[in-house]
Amino acid sequence: MDKVFIEGLEVEALIGIYDWERRIRQPLVFDIEMAFDNTVPAASDDIADTLDYKAVSKRIAGFVGESGFGLVETLAERVAAILLEEFAVRHVRLKLSKPGAVRGARNVGVIIERGPATLS
C-alpha cells in the first residue's frame, strides 16, 4: 500500500497533567504516515484525487490548537480517529512527540498505529 506522510508538523497546544502545564502552550511535533492508494491521483494528475496533505495538516493543527487534553495518548488517539474518519485513510501510523518534557531527553511521546493490521 502506498503511503502519504507528514513529518515534523509542529503545533502549539495546551497539554499536560501538571498545574504549570495547564497555564502555558507547549510545542508538539507530529510525524504521520497514512495508507492511501496513490494510483488514481497519479493517473489523473488532479489534486482532487489525492490525499491533500495540506488539508490534513490544517485539520490537525486546528484540532490540536483548540484541544486541552491531559495526556498525549488521548490526543494521539483523537488525531488518528480524525484521519481515519474524515479522510480516505485506511491505516495511520502517528508519532506524537513532546519536546523538552523530560530533562535530558530531546523528545518523549507515543507512537500508535490504527487501521487494519495487514496494512502496516
Q: Is pTM, for the whole model, over 0.85?
A: yes
Cα 119 to Cα 96: distance, rounded to the nearest angstrom: 20
Cα 25 to Cα 98: distance, rounded to the nearest angstrom: 11
Helices (H), 2-119: 39-44, 53-66, 72-86
pLDDT tens per residue across span 79-117:
999 999 999 899 999 999 999 888 999 999 999 999 986
- What are the counts of helices (DSSP H) followed by strands (DSSP E) for the chain? 3, 4
pLDDT tens per residue across span 20-62:
888 999 999 999 999 999 999 999 999 999 999 999 999 999 9
- Torsion sign (Cα): 56, 114, 33, 45: negative
CATH top class, domain 30-99: alpha beta
Catalytic residue numbers, as ranges = 98
Q: Where are the domains of the chain?
A: 30-99
Cα 62 to Cα 44: distance, rounded to the nearest angstrom: 30
Q: In this predicted structure, what is the pLDDT of residue 47? A: 92
- Torsion sign (Cα): 18, 24, 25, 28: negative
